[in-house]
Structures are given as structure tokens and as C-alpha cells.
Chains A and B, each alone.
Chain A
Amino acid sequence: MKIKVFAALKDYFDKDFLLEEDLKTIADLKAHLAQQQPKALALLNLCRFAVDDEFVALSHLIHENDEISVIPPSSGG
């Protein structure tokens, strides 16, 4: 799966990267990312996740070729 992160998350992760791990759900992905970068946990807890430009729930099942965006709370305008 391909992961894209934005804004302050880029202080902790590359802006996009591939993951080969066997992660079944978005919740698993979130836990994996938090394990990689414990300091990002507070921010990850505020984030939403999107697959193919649609927001998905933590229970969403990940497919091998999914492109998953990790979306921090908006601060536009």
C-alpha cells in the first residue's frame, strides 16, 4: 500500500512511502504508524484516513494496492 501524509505529519514521516507490512485495517495502519513514530501519536489520533479520495472508518479493510492518505485536521482559510 502507498501512504501519503500531509502538513505537520511530514515532521515525522516522508510525504509518501510504501508499506509492505500485513496490515488488515486502517486501525492497524494507525497503530503501525504510531509505533514507528511514538511522538506522532497525539496528531495521529486527530487524523482522518482516506482511500482513493474518500474518507474511511478505522474498521475499513485495506487492499494491497490502496493509496491511503492520512489527513490532519484542516487549517485552511
Chain B
Amino acid sequence: MKMMKSALFPQVAEVDITPLSATDLDLVQLLSLAHDPKAGAVVLFSGEVRDNSTGKTVDYLDYEAHESMASKMICAIVEEAAKRWHLTKALAQHRTGKVMAGESAVVVITCSPHRKEAYAANRYIIDRIKHEAPIWKCEYFTDGTKEWGGNCSCQKITGDANKHVYEFEDKA
């Protein structure tokens, strides 16, 4: 399989993409890497910083990661999705450090011959990264306060902070 070409970050054929980036995510560059004549469908998801949270105005987020674990986990999730949906290419990259409102914090690109698989795989990858990768956001508000943020609310349903309800499992 093409994606196995890079041993370290086996995300995109013939291109090394680090799963974590301390600098701006270059969506255009990443998308240009994903073009593939075998893929009739390319889906790009960009998770971006909202300018409001819990009723307050957000200035920026600061992302911290357990870098070695998060990197391995993102690669494993992308690889698993690539196999399951027979993707021709796939990649994911998450920011660390300071990300301003309106900027991209995470990008997932999936490519497949037809769109159904690219959409499904993309949703699976972003869901699992959000819930499982050891990455944390600290929200900095314009009023000068900060708050470690927003763990998911899955615990209310599952009774366990580390068991999650995934959107990709929605029947809708």
C-alpha cells in the first residue's frame, strides 16, 4: 500500500507529514499533497477555533500534547481508517501551541475513488483524534481569564471519562 512508504509518519504517499505542527497548518499545501489520480473524491475537514465559548469571547487557544503518544496515535488512527475504507491517501495534522480564533487547529484529508468512503473515513478520523489523542486545549478569553478546556461530555452518557460516543456511529 502506498501509504506505508514512510515508516516514521506513514500518512501520505511519498510525503512525510508530521502529525503535530507547532506552526500554522497550511491547508492549501496539504490539499495539494493529497491530490491523487486514483481518487475521485477528496474530503478536507478543518477544525477551527471559534471566537466564543461558554458565553465568553475567545482570544486564542493554546494546545498542549503528549507529543510522542499523540503522534503515534494519530498515525495509527489514519492507518486504520485507510485500510478500513480503502483510501488512496489520507493525512491528519493537529496544531500545538497558540492558535488564534479563526485559525485551523486540526486538519484531516481523506481520498478515495468515490465520496462515500472519503466522507465516512474523514469523520471517523476526526472523531477518534478529538476523543482519544492526548492533546489538550487551554482557552484564553479576551477578559484575561483562562480555562483548561472542554473535555467532551461523553461521560454523562457512558459513565466513564475515557469511553466516548462517536458521531461516526450515528444512525442518522
Q: A residues touching B (Cβ–Cβ < 8 Å)? A: 4, 6-8, 11, 46, 48, 50, 53, 69, 71-77
* Contact call A74/B47, Cβ cutoff below 8 A: no
Query: From residue 48 to 68 of chain B, which have CB atoms closer than 8 A to chain A?
Result: 63-66, 68
Q: For residue B69, which residue of chain A has the nearest CB?
A: A53
Candidates A8, A48, A72, A76; contact of B63 at CB < 8 Å: A76
Residue-wise, chain B 116-156 has the 8 Å CB interface mask toward A (1 for contact) of 00000000001001111111111000000000111110010
Cβ of B32 under 8 Å from chain A: no
A35 → B minimal CB distance (Å): 21
Does B161 sit within 8 A of A, measured CB to CB?
yes
Give the interface SS of chain B, mostly helix, strand, loop or mixed.
Answer: mixed
Given contacts A76-B137, A77-B129, contact A48 B148 (CB under 8 A): no
Q: Are B47 and A72 in contact (CB under 8 A)?
A: no
State which of A8, A48, A69, A74 has its C-beta within 8 Å of the C-beta of B133.
A74
* Most chain B beta carbons < 10 A, residue from A48, A73, A76: A76
- Asked whether A76 lies within 8 Å of B151 as measured between CB atoms, the reply is no
